[in-house]
Structure 1
Amino acid sequence: MSRKQKQPADETIAVRAVRTRQGGVDLFAFFAPGAELLKFAEISRVSRNETNGLSGFQRKEIKGHVRSIVEFLDRGDVLFPNAIILAMSPTARFTEARGTKPEGDLGASQGGTLRIPLPADGSKAAWIVDGQQRSLALEGAQDQGLPVPVIAFVSDDIAVHREQFILVNKARPLPSRLIDELLPEVGSVLPRDLAPRKIPSELVNSLHLTHDSPFYGLIKRLSDDRDDAVVNDAAVLTMIKNSIGSPLGALAPYKATASGGADTAAMYAVLVAFWSAVRDVFPDAWGRPPTESRLMHSAGIVAMGYLMDRIMSRCSRQDARQFAIDALMPIAPHCRWTSGRWNDIGREWNDIQYAGRDVRMLSDQLARLDHLNSFGRKAA
C-alpha cells in the first residue's frame, strides 16, 4: 500500500504588524526591507488574455521614473516614507501579541505578528496596488535593507484590487505651481526630476519678494492672493528655465558645472537688469492685467525672455540695465502691447494667446526687430 507523498510546507516571512478593520476587511500596517517586497508581492500588469479578457491592472514599468528613484535612493541616507499599498491573500496569518494594553489605548488596532507565505510553487501571496515603480527601484537600490512602510488589505478578489487601484490613482496630483513654490524651501537632496526645478523656483521667489526687482509684488503665487499681482508665476518660471537650458541663453553661463555650483546671484542680476529696462521702456504696459497688456501676459513674458537671451548675451558693459534700455528703445515703437496691430505678423495686440504657435510668432517678430535695430543698423 503506497503512502501519499507529503508536500513540503510553504516558507513564510514574519513581520511585526498592526491590524485593524475597515468595511469588514482586515487591514495591516508594517515595515519591510524594500528589496524584499517583490519576494512576496506580485506586480499584476494589465493585459489581454487569449479570449481578449482583461488581466491585471498595473501600468507598464516606467524605466526613467524607476531610474530616477534609484538615483535618489543611492545618494546616501534618505527619508523615504511613502507607503506601498498591497492586496494580501487570506493565507497570511496574524497572531495578536499578548500582554496588557497601554494606558489610554484607543482600541483602534492590535499589535502582533503577520506571517506571509512564500509558496513553494513560486506564486505570490500579495499584489502591489500602489507603488510598483517604487518597489522596482527599491529592489535595484544599493541599500537593500531600507525599511519602507506597507499598508495591506486582505483580499484575493481582482475586482477589489482594481477598484482600489483606481481610487488611489484618481486623486489629483499636487499642482505643478505649488511644487515649484515649495521647492526653494526644501533643503534636502531632491530626486533627479525635481532638482532642476529648484533654482528657477528660487529665482521666481526672489523676483517676487525682493524690493529691487521690477516684478516685486506682481507675480501670482498660490500662497499669495495680492490683488496687484498680474503675472502668472508659471510663465516667469518657464522664461527662466528656457534661458538656463538654452546654450545661447543669457542665464546659461551661470548654471552649475562639474567644477562648481550655479551662480544664482549672477542670474538674478541679469533678470533684474533686463526686466527693469523693460519696465522703463514700456511704462504704459507694465504692471497692468494681461487683459490690458500682452507684455504682462504669459505669451509676452516668455517671448520677451527669448529677447532677453539675445540682448543680454551681447552685453559687455558694467551697466547692464542701461545696455538693455539702449537695445529696447529702437524696437519699442513697433511693439503693440496694449493696442494696435503687430504689422509684420498681422495680429491684433489682444489676439496673441499663450499657445506655442503664438509665442513662436511673437518671439520671431521681436528677434527680427532686434536684429534690424542692432546688427542691421551697424551694417548700414
Structure 2
Amino acid sequence: MTARNCLKVRAVRAEQGGGVCVYAFFLFGADINRIADISRIRRDDNELKGFQRREIRDHVKQITAFLDSGPVLFPNAIILALSPTIEFSRSRGRPPGESSEVGETGTLSIPIYPEGRRAAWIVDGQQRSLALGAAKNQTIAVPVIGFVSDAVETQREQFILVNKVRPLPTTLINELLPEVSVLLPRDLAAKQLPSALCEALNTDPNSPFHGLIKRESDRAGIVTDTALIETMKSSLKTAAGALGQFRQNGTGNDTAAMYDLLLLYWDAVRDTFPNAWGRPPTESRLMHSAGIRAMGALMDTLMLRVDTAPDKAAAIRGRLAEIAPHCRWTEGNWEGLGFAWNEIQSTSQHITKLTDHLLHLERDLARAAK
C-alpha cells in the first residue's frame, strides 16, 4: 500500500474471541464512507446476501440536522468489519510505567477502494454514517471499533447481537437467523429453525407459499413471515405439536419430516379454500396474519386427529372440508364469533378468538361425526 491509496490512523489493537484482532480509533465522519461499504440484505438466485436493512431517510435527516446544529458531542461508535488486507504497525518504544497492557498502540492502514469493493463493512451505525457523510461539518471526530473478518457469517452474527436490544425490523432478524451459527439468546434461537422452514416454503416451487411470503429481502409477498414463524415456533414447543414430534433433543431434528408435514397441511388448506388463497390480506383474511396464526394452531389439532389414518393427506382434506362451510375468509360474518370477515385484525385478542373458534368448531364437528 502507498500513502496515496490508504487511510492511516492511530489505533489501539487488542484481541478477542480466540485471536480476532479488534481496533479502536477515530475517523473524520466523511472518511467512514470512503473506506466502508454498506452490505444491504438481498437475494441473488435465492442466496441470501448482505445483512443491513434499507436506509431510513427520516432517521438520517434527523441525525444530519443534529450534526448541523452547531458544535455537538457525538460519542456513538461505528462498528466496522475490516478486511484482512488492513495493516497495523506497532509503535516503537516502551509503554509507560504501570500502564494497562490490554492493547498496543500503533498505526492502522486501511486501503481505499471503489464502492462495492471496500476494505471495511458497516456492522452497526449505517444511518449515522450516512448522516455524517451528508453533514456540513466533514471533520467531526467519530469513534470507531473495528474487528478483522471478511466472513459475512461473522458480520451477520455481530449485526444481530449488537442490534438485539434495538428496534430492528423483526422480519430482518427473522431472515438472517438461519444464516448464522453463533450461540444465540434463547428467544432468537427458538426462531432459527422456523425461519429456515419459512424460507424453504417461500423458495420451493412445490410449496403452496412459493413467492407469497414477505421477507426483508423481498417485500413483494403477501403473507408476513412473522405469522408463519410464530405458528411453527408454537408447534415446536412440545412433543404433542405437529412439528414438535420430529424434534429430537441432542440428536438433531428431522427437518425433512417437518417440512413434508407443512407441505401436506398447507397444500390441503390452499385446495380447500381456493378462492381465498393467494389474495392480499385486504381481500382474504386467510392470508392475513390472524388467519395464518389461527389455521397454524388448527394444524396441531388436525394432524394429531389423523395420526393413525392410512392416508393422512386425504384425512386432513376431509377434516378441512367439514370446516370450510363455516369459514368466512372473504365475505360474510363469522357465525358464533361476532365478526364480519374483514373486521378481524392482527391483535392478540382477535387471533385468540379466531383460533379458539376454529378449534371449538373442529371439535364439535368431530363429535357429531362419531
Is the 1:29–1:151 Cα contact (8 Å) retained in structure 2?
Answer: no
* 2:9 is the counterpart of 1:31: no
Question: Which structure has the larger Rg?
Answer: 1
Aligned to 2:204: 210
**What does the per-residue CA deviation read over 1:338-373, in whole Å, with 9 as the maximum and x for residues that have no partner?**
111111111111111111111110000000110011
SS of 1:30's equivalent in the other structure is: strand
Aligned to 1:280: 271
Kept in 1, the 8 Å contact 2:12–2:25? The answer is no
Which of the numbers 216, 237, 254 marks the counterpart of 2:229?
237
Change (3 A) 1:175 1:329: same
1:310 aligns with 2:298: no
Aligned-partner SS, 2:13: strand
- Please state how far the C-alpha of 1:320 moved relative to its aligned partner: 2.6
Compared with structure 1, are the counterparts of its residues 257 and 171 closer, same or farther at alpha carbon in structure 2 (3 Å cutoff)? Answer: closer
Q: Structure 1: which amino acid aligns with 2:204?
A: T
Q: Letter of the aligned partner of 1:191 in structure 2?
A: L
Question: CA, structure 1 residues 310+114, in 2 after alignment: closer, same or farther (shift >3 Å)?
Answer: farther
Q: CA deviation at 1:85?
A: 9.8
Amino acid at match of 2:287: M
**Would you say the 8 A contact 1:246–1:252 is kept in 2?**
yes
Deviations 1:257-297 (A, max 9, x none): 13x10111111111111111110111111000001111000
Match of 1:47 in 2: none
Instruction: Give 5+ residue unaligned stretches, structure 2.
Output: 1-7, 27-85, 101-143, 147-161
- Taking the TM superposition and a 5 Å limit, the aligned residue runs for 1:352-367 are 352-367=344-359
Q: CA deviation at 1:84?
A: 8.3
Matches within 5 A, 1:139-178: 151=145, 174-178=168-172
Other-structure match for 2:283 = 292
Cα deviation, residue 374, structure 1: 1.1
How far is 1:82 from its partner?
Answer: 7.5
Aligned residue number for residue 62 of structure 1: none
CA gap of 1:151–1:291, structure 2 versus 1, over 3 A, is closer
The one-letter amino acid of 2:12's match is: A
Q: Deviations over 1:196-238 (max 9, x none)?
A: 3221111001100111111111111111243xx2101111111
Give 1:324 deviation, angstroms: 1.2
Cα distance in 2, alignment partners of residues 361 and 81 from structure 1: 53
* TM-score, L = length of structure 2: 0.58
Q: 1:334 aligns with which of 319, 326, 337?
A: 326
Secondary structure of the corresponding residue to residue 329 of structure 1: helix
**Aligned residue number for residue 373 of structure 1:** 365
The 2-side partners of 1:82 and 1:178 are apart by 26
Cα deviation for residue 255 of structure 1 reads 1.3
Gaps of 5+ in 1: 1-18, 21-26, 35-72, 87-104, 120-149, 153-167
| Contact in 1 for aligned 2:222/2:279 (Cα 8 Å) | yes
d(CA) in 1 for partners of 2:363, 2:172: 38
Equivalent residue number for residue 191 of structure 1: 184
For the structure 1 residues 178 and 325, does the alpha-carbon distance in structure 2 shift closer, same or farther, using more than 3 Å as the test? same
Q: Give the share of equivalent positions with the same residue, in percent.
A: 44
Task: Confirm or deny: 8 A CA contact 2:323 2:362 kept in the other structure.
Answer: yes
Q: TM-score, normalised by structure 1?
A: 0.57
Find the residue that maps to 1:332 and give its secondary structure. Answer: helix
| 2:317 alignment partner, SS class | helix
Question: Would you say 1:253 and 2:236 are equivalent positions?
Answer: no
Q: Which residue of 1 aligns with 2:216?
A: 222
